[in-house]
Amino acid sequence: MHTAISCRESAAQLRQLDIRTKIMRCRNHNERQANAICVNCGIALCNDCSDQLENGKIVCSENCKKSVTNSDMAIDLIRMKILKQNKVASVAYFILGGLFILFTPLAYLDGVWQVSIFLFAMGIGMIVAGFLTRKVGKSSFEAENDIKKYI
């Protein structure tokens, strides 16, 4: 009884000290200082308890490893899909733009120069949109990859 109380008191004192010195302790080893946090469940871990994935993320258990890997794979899949859609969209823009420009001289020869100007402007607009779509898709992909390194 007496030991239990003093043990609780010392644990409380230790926690107080930890808060003051900003030290985190391993969830499994109370005496060890934690130097990593599981990215999935957020618990503090010492060197022995942490497991590092290939992409540098720290996990605490096989379960957390699985869920982190699964969610990463899901994110990658979604990203690849978006990238692919962007590519398809930009190709569609290029083809449409090309067609509009192709019809420009035909409209001009038909004597409707107003229409030819309209077609030409539309064609340029489509091609610019194609370039922008491609650029946005690529840059967001690269930015997310950069962020991924730090989380």
Q: Which residues of the chain form contacts with Zn ion (CB under 5 A)?
A: 26, 28-29, 38, 40-41, 46, 49, 60, 64
Label the pairing between strands 58-59 and 51-52. antiparallel
Cβ–Cβ < 8 Å for 63, 38: no
- Distance of alpha carbon 11 from alpha carbon 5, whole angstroms: 10
Tell the smallest beta-carbon distance from residue 72 to Zn ion (Å). 14
**Min. distance of Cβ 11 from Zn ion in angstroms?**
17
State the Cα angle at 87 between 127 and 117, rounded to 5°: 15
Least distance in angstroms from the C-beta of 54 to Zn ion: 17
Q: Which is nearer to Zn ion, 29 or 148 (CB)?
A: 29
Given the complex with Zn ion, which of 28 and 140 has the nearer CB atom?
28
Nearer to Zn ion, 38 or 101 (CB): 38
Residue type, 126: M
User: Could you say which DSSP state residue 145 is in?
Assistant: H
